[in-house]
């Protein structure tokens, strides 16, 4: 645009140059500056790492961590090959037995090898998303009801205010005991440990979601409510057509907040309860205490950070896609 407007001016030869300059400035800002920041960080990290001696050897620098990433991926591949081989052996054996005795019904036994780093990432992601979705299913309708009814708000508010500041980790023992008591089945659909972690995540997600949804609903422009009254929209249609869209930006703010907290809490819960996931990986490595352990933990820390960042970006993208209010989702 700038180039086109400037082209009519006497100094037209400078116009493309200007454009290139602006373009260059943008590139510098978007790529070069963050890159410089990362390089400085890596430098400081490696210098600091060399000077820290722990009982497990030197603190891992960027190089050591990078190696561990490779090693972790390698382990995962080896484990997968082993698993494939295990099933193949089983199949061959079963085929043999069936050939010998046609009445034999072959049994397939599941592979019970060690969970790799990548498996743990998968477990943690599934857990956090399940807990988060369960919280959304409970919290958003509750938040809408609380936002619509002053009486309900007055009734529920003290409870929310008291439970909101409680770290979900404090709930963890209670959740574990209750799940053990109530979730008894000879052939469980999901393991108990998964349920424990998931419910802990739900407990931490639910409060910010209820609060943000109810505030969003309660602060709807009264003119919009009047429009609905003049049209005599029935209650359900009022919620569907006016309340829900109007409070979508606030609902998403609550969801983003709680997903961020949930991811942090989940790692801690997995460490504490030894439930499968990234937290368990970190704890196992710590207990293992080999010379590679610190590097592997550092690799896990970086992965945890990246996943947290991606979860937040994902929510932001979803908000941009769903919400009408583009201004509130550009942050």
Partner 1 sequence: MSALLDISHIDMVFPTPKGPFTALQDVDLKINKGEFVSLIGHSGCGKSTVLNVVAGLYQATNGGVILNGKEVSEPGPERAVVFQNHSLLPWLTAYQNVELAVKQVFKKTKSKSEMKAWIEHNLHLVHMDHAMHKRPDEISGGMKQRVGIARALAMQPDILLMDEPFGALDALTRAHMQDSLMEIQNELNNTVIMITHDVDEAVLLSDRIVMMTNGPAATIGEILDINLERPRDRLALAEDHEYTRLRSEVLKFLYEKQRKITTIDHNNKPESTSGDLNGKPLGQKPKVA
When asked if residue 226 is in the footprint of partner 1 (CB under 8 A), the reply is yes
Structural contact between residues 255 and 315, judged by C-beta atoms closer than 8 angstroms: yes
If binding means CB under 8 A, how many residues of this protein chain bind partner 1? 18
State the Cα–Cα distance between residues 75 and 169, nearest whole angstrom.
31
Q: Which of 5, 223, 287, 321 binds partner 1 (CB under 8 A)?
A: 223
Residue range at the interface with partner 1 (CB under 8 A); choices 84-92, 166-174, 239-247, 276-284: 239-247
Closest CA to 286 of 298, 276, 275: 298
Q: Select from 224, 268, 307, 318 the one that contacts partner 1 (CB under 8 A).
A: 224
DSSP 8-state secondary structure symbol assigned to residue 186: S
Q: Among residue numbers 162 through 221, which ones bind partner 1 (CB under 8 A)?
A: 221
**Residue 238 binding partner 1, by CB under 8 A:** no
Q: CB of 63: closest distance to partner 1 in angstroms?
A: 52
227 scored as a contact of partner 1 (CB under 8 A): yes
Rounded to an integer, what distance in angstroms lies between the CA atom of residue 279 and that of residue 15?
56
Packing angle, helices 278-288 and 293-322, rounded to 10 = 170
What is d(CA 305, CA 263) in angstroms, rounded to the nearest whole number?
10
**Chain-centre distance for alpha carbon 308:** 5
What track of x and - describes contact with partner 1 for positions 139 through 158 (by CB under 8 A)?
--------------------
Our CB check for partner 1 shows the closer of 160 and 248 to be 248
Bridge partner list, 57: 54
| 230 counts as binding partner 1 under rule CB under 8 A | yes
Which residues make up the interface to partner 1 (CB under 8 A)? Answer: 221, 223-224, 226-227, 229-233, 237, 241-242, 245-246, 248, 324-325
């Amino acid at each position: 645009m700038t180039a086109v407007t400037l082209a009519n001016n006497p100094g037209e030869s400078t116009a493309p140059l200007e454009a290139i300059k602006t373009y260059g400035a943008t590139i510098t800002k978007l790529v070069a500056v963050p890159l410089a920041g990362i390089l400085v960080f890596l430098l400081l990290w490696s210098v600091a790492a060399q000077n820290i001696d722990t009982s497990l050897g030197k603190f891992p620098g960027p190089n050591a961590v990078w190696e561990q990433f490779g090693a972790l991926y390698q382990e995962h591949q080896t484990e997968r090959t082993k698993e494939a081989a295990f099933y193949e052996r089983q199949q061959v054996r079963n085929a043999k037995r069936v050939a010998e005795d046609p009445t034999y019904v072959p049994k397939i036994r599941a592979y019970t090898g060690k969970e790799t780093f990548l498996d743990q990432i998968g477990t943690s992601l599934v857990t956090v998303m399940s807990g988060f979705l369960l919280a959304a299913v409970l919290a958003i309708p509750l938040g809408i009801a609380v936002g619509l009814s002053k009486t309900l708000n007055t009734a529920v508010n003290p409870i929310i205010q008291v439970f909101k500041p409680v770290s979900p980790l404090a709930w963890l023992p209670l959740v574990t005991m209750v799940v053990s008591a109530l979730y008894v089945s000879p052939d469980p659909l999901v393991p108990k440990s998964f349920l424990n972690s998931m419910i802990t995540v739900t407990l931490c997600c639910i409060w910010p979601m209820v609060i943000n949804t109810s505030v969003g609903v309660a602060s709807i422009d009264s003119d919009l409510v009047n429009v609905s009254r003049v049209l005599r929209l029935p209650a359900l249609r009022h919620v569907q057509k006016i309340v829900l869209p109007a409070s979508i930006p606030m609902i998403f703010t609550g969801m983003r907040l709680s997903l961020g907290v949930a991811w942090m809490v989940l790692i801690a819960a997995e460490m504490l309860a030894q439930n499968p996931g990234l937290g368990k990986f970190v704890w196992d490595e710590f207990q293992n205490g080999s010379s590679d352990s610190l590097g592997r933990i550092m690799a896990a820390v970086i992965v945890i950070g990246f996943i947290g960042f991606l979860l937040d970006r994902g929510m932001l993208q979803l908000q941009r896609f769903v919400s009408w209010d583009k201004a509130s989702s550009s942050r």
